[in-house]
Amino acid sequence: MSKYLFIQSSVRGADSASGQLAAHLKKQLGAVSGNEILERDLGSNPLPVLDAALLGTLFTPADALNPAQKTQAALVSTLIEELKAADTVVLSAGMYNFAAPVQLKTWFDYVLQAGRTFHYTATGPEGLVKGKRAILLVATGGVYSEGPAAAADFMVPHLKQLLAFVGITDVSVIRAEGMALGNDAAKAGLEKALAEIETL
């Protein structure tokens, strides 16, 4: 049995290209008996962004939390438990202004917690979420896998860094590229990515 955690972050609903990639992968995984899929769609159900109140909760001992802080702390714990329970984490994201959607960055703001998903050692930080695989399903208007725009891809390297920080270094990347380069390019980019998903 294998557990998959899907974190979707496009805000484009049914029009989302990265969402179509996620749907395709989910359909394939769902056809294999024993696979368990948990999904969080942050595009339609965003997490509250990190603010002073949430930071206060994160730095307050459990026995001193007020009722509102307890609710926030429970959400943080749930998200961390979902991550720890998964064998494979699938992040789907469209590139917005050269980076991942803020909804996905916010999810990392919740799950990157010292002492729970990473800790500091004498030689530096160490991830505590080990033995897992991640799959990034990304959609971009332009082309970043090669060529002049590659240096402007602040999405995939950032997501890989965040995953590595908690200990996830086995990362596969599937890119639907050229979504803004006309219908033919978008169709070809999407079809290529969908075909790649079948080889995962």
Binding site for ligand FMN (CB under 6 A): 10, 12, 16-19, 94-98, 139-142, 179-180
Residue nearest to ligand FMN (CB): 94
Give whichever of 25 and 80 is closer to ligand FMN, judged by the CB atom.
25
Measured CA to CA, the distance from residue 69 to residue 74 in angstroms comes to 8
CB of 74 to ligand FMN, least distance (A): 29
Measured from the CB atom, the residue of 94 and 166 that comes closer to ligand FMN is 94
User: Tokens 């955690």, residue?
Assistant: 5
Nearer to ligand FMN, 94 or 133 (CB): 94
Strands (E), the chain: 2-8, 35-41, 88-94, 118-121, 124-127, 133-139, 170-176
Cβ nearer to ligand FMN, comparing 98 with 165:
98
In this structure, the number of other CB atoms found within 10 A of the CB of residue 190 comes to: 19
Q: Which is nearer to ligand FMN, 25 or 94 (CB)?
A: 94
Q: Taking the complex as a whole, how short is the minimal distance between the CB of residue 200 and ligand FMN, in angstroms?
A: 18
Residue 97 beta carbon to ligand FMN: minimum distance, rounded to whole angstroms? 5
Taking the complex as a whole, the smallest distance from the CB of residue 5 to ligand FMN amounts, in Å, to: 18
CA separation for the pair 197, 107 (Å, rounded):
24
- Distance in Å, CB of 148 to ligand FMN, minimum: 12
CB atoms within 10 A of CB 98: 14
Taking the least distance from each CB to ligand FMN, the nearer of 129 and 189 is 189
Residue 108: which H helix or E strand, with range? helix 102-111
Question: For residues 143 and 149, is the Cβ–Cβ distance under 8 A?
Answer: yes
Q: What angle do CA 77, 81, 86 make, to 5 degrees?
A: 155
* Strands 35-41 vs 2-8: parallel, antiparallel or unpaired: parallel
